[in-house]
Structure 1
Amino acid sequence: MAVVQAVNSLSASSPPVVNLLRCLVLRVGAFSHVGPGVGAAGEASSRPPVGSGFRTAFSLMERAVTKATWKGRESVWREWQDFCSRLGVDGLRGEVVPALLCFVGEAFEKGVSASGLVKKLAGLAYWFKLLGVRDATKDFVVRQAVLGYSKSRVARDSRRPVSFDLLVKLVGVLGLICSDGYEEVLFSAAFALAFFGAFRVGELVSHSCVASGGLQFGDVAVGVDCVSCFLRRSKTDQSGKGKRIVLYAVPGAAACPVRCVQQFLAVRPCLQPGGSFLIHRDGRSLSRFQFIAIFRSGLDKLGLPAKEFASHSFRIGAATEAVRWGLGEQMVRQIGRWESERIRSYVRLELL
């Protein structure tokens, strides 16, 4: 009963977590009833740790990946449960392969991109493994359906890159957009760092203005002709080894990363140690929403279609400009911390 109480004590706002915990308990035979849509219980052969320890272990599994990845896995688990409920099948046992084929077919009919489907199936594969059932996503017929899916729906990512020239123009119009001089300096630094550091926006700024996130104050060091940023964790560095990113000065450029960061530090309020590096005058963190909003406003002011760009355009621009400047693929990989062949999809010279 202690395990049941621990599971039921979880927040009701996260039903996928509750159901998954129940499935995990079922896997080791802790109790005989797991609720609708999860599966029938088996015979108890051993008993798991009880109370908060079991819940803590699940929390540690959650911390093994980024919040965005975990949220995506929870979402696809909920989607899978709802889908199987509509079909009237057990999502873990029995006719799982036919159900997956129907799942793939429905995704195609809804217009889900090939990459979106792959992410969904990767999420399901994770839960299948975690719950100790056969990973049906690797079944031959499912893989063939996914292969046909990818060949039938090739959707090229058409987000345009932020070129160096565009970056300079964006910094130049911030005075017409931002509420005061401090904000102008803040966003100049944010845009320059995003471009020259090839940052993902989540690595650079906080997800919320009331939370500390993104690049931290203690992780930034400024020299005479360079800025050093220590990236604690990234999408390709889940173990948290960290990566030192050094950005060098671009003499005479208004969007020079060293110049922009130095100007920001000259006006940044002196608060308690730690916290987000990019903050407003009142100490609130620069948020993802605010970063994108000012970026879009800048594009509008320049007469460019904001819908053709995204926050990732800075990272795309870093790769594209690096290639245009004659840097080899290995050097470009180092700039953006890319580890796969996907780097080539970031180079979009035709969209500059």
Structure 2
Amino acid sequence: MPVAPSCSPSLVTGPRLKEHSLQVYLGAAKGYMRNGLAASTLRSYDFAWRSYAMFCSSLSVPLFPLCVNVVCAFVCHCTDVRHFQTCYIKGLVAGIQFNARCLDPSFPSLLSNPAIKLLFKGIGKAFPPKVDDRLPFTLSVLHAMLSVLRRGYFSRYIDSLLDCSLLLAFYGFLRCGEFTTRANAFNPTSDVCFSDLTFHPEFFNLFLRHSKSGGSCFVVIARTGGPFCPFSSMLRYVKMRASSDPLSPLFITPANKPMSQSWFSHHLAQVVSKCNLPPGRYSGHSFRIGAATSAAVQGLSTATLQQLGRWSSSAYSSSVRPDAASIIKAQRSLRP
């Protein structure tokens, strides 16, 4: 069974190439291309490649050369047999395209192929995408949740842990997976460590070791002042942490385990319910949506929004969810 392309780690880390040949340089290119992706993206792309290879094998179709007609058949299989959403299938095709380019950098774009574009357009008409009904954590909702915690909801430690996590997620435009772990297992090379947090007089830095926006990056959180200041909240939590090990998880549960995504989501849902809000309409991504919506309402420029959310394109616009009041105000501003 073909596996995702890889190369010798020595070619990725930069020692001198021992042989000067085209194949050696192409081998290095494969490694650098894979190294350029976030770990989660790479896992998804490798899964897509394995799925496509298994599909070809089930039909006794050769994997190479990679043919557009076989990819079209794979897309229809994912739609009609596996019942995958169109956006997920596009991600699988992107994974196939990436791995094909690791083998041959000149491989053309599958997602730009006219036949595949028309295929996805037809699937989109046959199976309209579900409306994303997730609600944003706006500032007012965020403050309501923080008020619940500060009145004492779980324990003093858990309330402080969640308090700073909620504020960090909102002001940092973070995805839930960027500051939590996938499970109780902690990997200091990819998960947020205590040493990744640095305080300065007017802000603190958090180094994200992996980000969907593209590799590692620094997130700056300002000292905003007031009762809901993310800087003060993080400082309070740090003083309550039991461990001072720089390589320990930044966020630790009372069981002395790293804060997993499931642990965070479970406690978040309880806080949302306490605020008399429907927990099924909110998720970890609601912080990013809420931050983008709140920033847009404040009139921040497109360039600033993209910078704050680490968006490399206009994809940020899908995270802006203006409420009815904002729409009415905007419409009234158009009257003569």
Common fold by TM > 0.5: yes
Q: Pick from 20, 30, 39: which aligns with 2:3?
A: 20
Equivalent residue number for residue 77 of structure 1: 49
Contact 2:289 2:320 in 1 (8 A): yes
**Is the aligned partner of 1:189 residue 2:164?**
yes
- Contiguous gaps of at least 5 residues in structure 1: 1-17, 26-45
Output one character per residue of 1:315-340: Cα deviation in whole Å (capped at 9) or x when no partner.
11100011122222222222211121
**Is the aligned partner of 1:286 residue 2:259?**
yes
d(CA) in 2 for partners of 1:351 and 1:233?
35
Contact 2:192 2:208 in 1 (8 A): yes
Give how far 1:261 is off: 0.9
Other structure's SS at 1:20 match: coil
Output one character per residue of 1:29-79: Cα deviation in whole Å (capped at 9) or x when no partner.
xxxxxxxxxxxxxxxxx9x89xxxx9x998776544222112211221222
d(CA) in 1 for partners of 2:274 and 2:324?
20
Equivalent residue number for residue 334 of structure 1: 307
Structure 2 CA distance for partners of 1:293 and 1:105, relative to 1, 3 Å: same
Q: Pick from 116, 122, 144: which aligns with 1:142?
A: 116
Equivalent residue number for residue 91 of structure 1: 63
Other structure's SS at 2:299 match: coil
Structure 2 CA distance for partners of 1:342 and 1:225, relative to 1, 3 Å: same
Other structure's SS at 2:293 match: helix
Other structure's SS at 1:227 match: strand
d(CA) in 2 for partners of 1:74 and 1:87?
20
Output one character per residue of 1:158-216: Cα deviation in whole Å (capped at 9) or x when no partner.
221111111122223336652x2111111111111001111122222222333145433
With structure 2 as the length reference, what TM-score do the two structures score?
0.78
d(CA) in 1 for partners of 2:158 and 2:55?
47
Q: Pick from 75, 82, 90: which aligns with 1:118?
A: 90
d(CA) in 2 for partners of 1:194 and 1:79?
34
Contact 1:177 1:294 in 2 (8 A): no
d(CA) in 2 for partners of 1:62 and 1:258?
36
Alignment of 1:242-321 (within 5 A): 242-253=217-228, 256-281=229-254, 283-321=256-294
Equivalent residue number for residue 212 of structure 2: 235
Query: Root-mean-square deviation (CA), in Å?
Result: 3.2
Give how far 1:151 is off: 5.2
One-letter identity of the residue aligned with 2:263: Q
Equivalent residue number for residue 216 of structure 1: 193
Q: Pick from 51, 59, 77: which aligns with 1:106?
A: 77
After TM superposition, the structure 1 stretch with the greater mean CA deviation from structure 2, 203-212 or 319-328, is 203-212
- Contiguous gaps of at least 5 residues in structure 2: 8-20, 326-336
Number of residue pairs matched?
Answer: 303
Contact 2:183 2:260 in 1 (8 A): yes
One-letter identity of the residue aligned with 1:321: S
Equivalent residue number for residue 204 of structure 1: 179
Structure 2 CA distance for partners of 1:281 and 1:154, relative to 1, 3 Å: closer
One-letter identity of the residue aligned with 2:68: V
One-letter identity of the residue aligned with 2:207: F
Other structure's SS at 1:342 match: helix
Percent identity, aligned pairs only, is: 24
Contact 2:38 2:214 in 1 (8 A): no
Contact 1:185 1:263 in 2 (8 A): yes
One-letter identity of the residue aligned with 1:347: V
